[in-house]
């Protein structure tokens, strides 16, 4: 009872905070449109929002006529005719393109000791976002965290430029440079979700270090061919916490094909920006990817530095029909020497998720994750995880989520002996979250 | 005498009638829309080419002024052979030039109160720039015939007295790809041609 009262008080506080923080983020300001033009519920993007992202944060039909906040000209268009005797003209945003994301959170963790089960994270996360485009040719996105996981965490998460339409037909070749989320997650990017937890295929640290969604410094070539085929190939630094610098870089590639619905490049989108019923995209997209990497690690307790080569292969699926969307993915791979003892670790993780839009402001999500990893003889991970989520859009830029996490650990074989899981309780976490973007 | 008078009357009638038909030749009217709805007053519609005819340019010069760091007007369609005066009505110096193949020129830097002139013979689009103020921009469309119009702020336009014939009718806007439509102008009446520019 005491817990319920606390939860209700916290929810009321969120409402008060949110009311005062009403606002619109940078892209909405630029085009004078609602968040729902590009998002089902922030930060999850709809098909149009995905086309906008792929196009380097430039509207699929080009920015010039739909920008309401006139950019500052760095030379009229006619200067293109004067090239190479003049600098190619461009524009910059009229104001510094900044937006703020805030998560306020109440978490109930039954596994924690008494007295620490209920925690306020206010803010749980506070980020400054940079987003803009310099004309149709160059896009910019950055993410600077001030608070993360309820703690001061000043640091750069993502910061990259995308140079659009480098060669060939429109959208055929773009170059992304900077600190990026590798394009293998393009089927389900870290920030493209409704839930607070992420699907396991982008979040799973099989060997405790590298995971697909981590931002890394590198270069990615990507593009769309014929509106339906998407590719991305890249080179990145690799796992940076254990090996900030190394000469051997990680490489990745992903291809995807979309059948039906809006084209990956935005083909078929309404010519004017649309603010309602944007979630519907009756289409199926399937993707396949690979990542080959290496990291060097020195054990925290001391000892010789060792090298781990690893690989991943994965598939992703996104299928939309009316108000429902089904997503799924599988990632599998092998780490040759993840713990410095020359024992190979093989692993597979997959998930399935259903999102359903009951009303434009009320969305339900149900996700099931599965992780399994194994040395030659012993199991390492073997569990199921379930995330139910209800999200309410209080305003287009303010959302509340209630989310649970359930986990079922299975029996594991360790040194030839089958052992019961150390934790048998399935209910692991309950959270109420208020997210505000302005 | 009576028959001569009758012939004279018929001849006069024919002249009047045929003149009236030329004067009342077809009109082209319509509405242009553009993605985002901005800049409709910069839309130019024109007949690409009228075969077998030449047209004399107007004796009066067109004007592209430079005022408040802006070329006025931003878009100017004109008949081939026309001369444009470029006064500087600003308080600062300007340097009108064009890098366009249609008419490459550079008038040099000149102060307020000075007017310089350029004659445009070759048909095509001429970008006007200022070497001192890189954000300044304007366009001159040099056209083969006088059957053109600039749309109003609502995108409406009308071209009157177009001689009968089959033509390619073009819409142009500085920020969109041009589109065209095949049209037939008959002896009388009007043709309606609407456009939507979105790329």
Which neighbouring-strand residues pair with A298?
none
In this structure, are residues A353 and A203 in contact, taking their beta carbons and an 8 Å threshold?
no
pLDDT reported for residue B13: 42
A169 touches chain B (CB under 8 A): no
Q: Which residues of A touch B36 (CB under 8 A)?
A: 64-66, 272
pLDDT reported for residue A271: 61
**C-alpha atoms less than 13 angstroms from C-alpha of B130 in its C-beta half-sphere:** 28
Angstrom CA distances, A97 to A29, A93, B135, B179, stand at: 9, 7, 21, 35
Q: Which residues of B touch A85 (CB under 8 A)?
A: 99
- Would the CB atoms of B135 and A73 count as touching at under 8 Å? yes
Chain B closest-CA separation from residue A273 CA (Å): 9
With a cut of 70, list the residues of chain B below it in pLDDT: 1-24
Which residues in B have their CB inside 8 Å of a CB on A? 34-39, 98-101, 127-129, 134-137, 139, 174-176, 198-199
Q: Specify the DSSP element, H or E, that contains B63.
A: strand B62-63
- Would the CB atoms of B134 and A81 count as touching at under 8 Å? no
pLDDT reported for residue A3: 56
Outline where chain B has alpha helix (H): 2-23
Nearest to A76 among B35, B37, B134 (CB): B134
- Would the CB atoms of B129 and A76 count as touching at under 8 Å? yes
pTM tops 0.95, yes or no: no
pLDDT reported for residue A34: 82
Total residues found in chain A within this entry = 438
Is omega for the bond preceding A359 within 30 degrees of 0, making it cis?
no
pLDDT reported for residue A94: 84
Nearest to B198 among A61, A76, A85 (CB): A61
B2 phi and psi, to 5 degrees? -65, -40
A76 touches chain B (CB under 8 A): yes
- Would the CB atoms of A65 and B175 count as touching at under 8 Å? yes
Return the closest-CA partner of residue A290 out of A337, A332, A352, A248: A332
pLDDT reported for residue B38: 85
Is residue A434 exposed (0-12), middle (13-18) or buried (19+ Cβ within 10 Å)? Answer: buried
**CA–CA separation, A404 vs A419, rounded Å?**
27
pLDDT reported for residue B15: 37
What is the ipTM for the molecules in this complex?
0.72
Average pLDDT, rounded, for chain B: 87
In this structure, are residues A265 and A171 in contact, taking their beta carbons and an 8 Å threshold?
yes
In this structure, are residues B109 and B120 in contact, taking their beta carbons and an 8 Å threshold?
no
Chain A closest-CA separation from residue B89 CA (Å): 20
Reading chain A (438 residues) residue by residue, the pLDDT tens digits are: 555 555 555 444 444 333 333 334 778 888 878 888 888 888 999 998 999 899 888 888 766 667 777 888 888 888 999 999 888 888 888 888 889 999 999 999 999 999 999 999 999 999 999 888 888 889 999 999 999 888 888 888 899 999 999 999 999 999 999 999 999 999 999 989 999 999 999 999 999 889 999 999 999 999 999 999 999 999 999 887 766 567 889 999 999 999 999 999 998 876 666 666 778 899 999 999 999 999 888 887 888 888 999 999 999 999 999 999 999 999 999 999 999 999 999 999 999 999 999 999 999 999 999 999 999 989 999 999 999 999 999 998 999 999 999 999 999 999 889 999 999 999 999 999 999 999
Considering only alpha carbons, which residue of chain B is nearest residue A81? B99
Angstrom CA distances, A246 to A51, A208, A234, A242, A287, stand at: 34, 19, 16, 10, 30
Residue B85 token pair: 């005066």
């Amino acid at each position: 009872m005491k817990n319920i009262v606390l939860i209700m008080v916290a929810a009321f506080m969120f409402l008060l905070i949110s009311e005062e923080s009403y606002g619109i983020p940078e892209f909405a300001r630029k085009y004078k449109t609602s968040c729902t033009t590009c998002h089902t519920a922030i930060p999850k993007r709809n098909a149009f929002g995905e086309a906008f992202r792929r196009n380097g944060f430039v509207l699929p039909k080009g920015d010039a006529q739909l920008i309401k906040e006139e950019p500052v000209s760095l030379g009229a268009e006619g200067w293109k005719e004067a090239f190479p005797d003049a600098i190619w003209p461009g524009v910059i945003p009229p104001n510094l393109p900044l937006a703020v994301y805030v998560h306020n959170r109440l978490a109930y963790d039954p596994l924690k000791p008494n007295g620490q089960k209920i925690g306020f994270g206010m803010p749980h996360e506070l980020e400054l976002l940079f987003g803009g485009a310099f004309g149709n040719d160059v896009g910019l996105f950055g993410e600077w965290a001030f608070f993360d996981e309820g703690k001061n965490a000043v640091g750069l998460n993502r910061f990259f430029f995308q140079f659009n339409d480098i060669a060939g037909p429109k959208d055929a070749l773009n170059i992304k440079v900077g600190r990026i989320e590798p394009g293998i997650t393009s089927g389900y990017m870290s920030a493209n979700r409704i839930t607070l937890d992420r699907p396991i295929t982008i979040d799973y640290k099989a060997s405790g270090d590298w995971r697909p969604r981590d931002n890394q410094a590198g270069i990615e070539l990507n593009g769309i061919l014929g509106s339906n085929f998407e590719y991305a190939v890249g080179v990145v630094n690799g796992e940076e916490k254990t090996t900030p610098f190394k000469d051997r870089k990680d490489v990745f590639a992903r291809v995807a094909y979309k059948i039906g619905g809006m084209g990956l490049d935005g083909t078929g989108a309404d010519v004017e920006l649309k603010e309602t019923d944007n979630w519907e995209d009756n289409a199926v997209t399937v993707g396949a990817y690979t990542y080959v990497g290496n990291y060097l690690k020195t054990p925290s307790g001391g000892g010789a530095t060792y090298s781990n080569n690893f690989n991943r292969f994965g598939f992703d699926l996104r299928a939309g029909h009316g108000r429902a969307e089904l997503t799924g993915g599988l990632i599998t791979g092998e780490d040759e020497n993840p713990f410095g003892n020359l024992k190979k670790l093989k692993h597979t993780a997959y998930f399935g998720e259903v999102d359903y839009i009951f009303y434009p402001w009320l969305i339900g999500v149900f996700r099931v994750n599965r992780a399994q990893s194994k040395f030659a003889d012993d199991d390492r991970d073997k569990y199921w995880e379930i995330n139910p989520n209800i999200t309410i859009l209080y305003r287009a830029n303010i959302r509340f989520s209630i989310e649970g996490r359930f986990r079922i650990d299975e029996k594991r074989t360790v040194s030839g002996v089958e052992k019961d899981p150390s934790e048998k309780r399935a209910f692991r976490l309950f959270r109420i979250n208020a997210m505000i973007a302005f | 005498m009576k028959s001569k008078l009758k012939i004279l009357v018929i001849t006069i009638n024919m002249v009047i009638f045929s003149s009236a038909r030329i004067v009342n030749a077809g009109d082209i009217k319509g509405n242009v829309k553009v993605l985002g709805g901005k800049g409709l007053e910069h839309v130019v519609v024109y007949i690409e080419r009228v075969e077998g005819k030449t047209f004399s340019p107007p004796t009066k010069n067109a004007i592209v002024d430079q005022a408040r760091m802006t070329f006025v007007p931003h878009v100017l369609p004109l008949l081939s052979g026309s001369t444009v005066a470029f006064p500087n009505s600003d308080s600062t110096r300007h340097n009108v030039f064009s890098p366009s193949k249609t008419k490459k020129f550079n008038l040099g830097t000149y102060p307020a109160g000075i007017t310089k002139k350029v004659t445009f013979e070759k048909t095509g689009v001429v970008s006007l720039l200022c070497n001192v103020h890189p954000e300044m921009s304007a366009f001159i469309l040099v056209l083969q015939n006088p059957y053109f119009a600039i749309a109003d702020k609502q995108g409406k336009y009308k071209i009157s007295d177009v001689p009968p014939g089959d033509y390619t009718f073009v819409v142009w806007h500085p920020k969109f790809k041009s589109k065209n439509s095949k049209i037939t102008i008959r002896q009388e009446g009007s043709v309606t041609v609407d456009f939507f520019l979105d790329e």
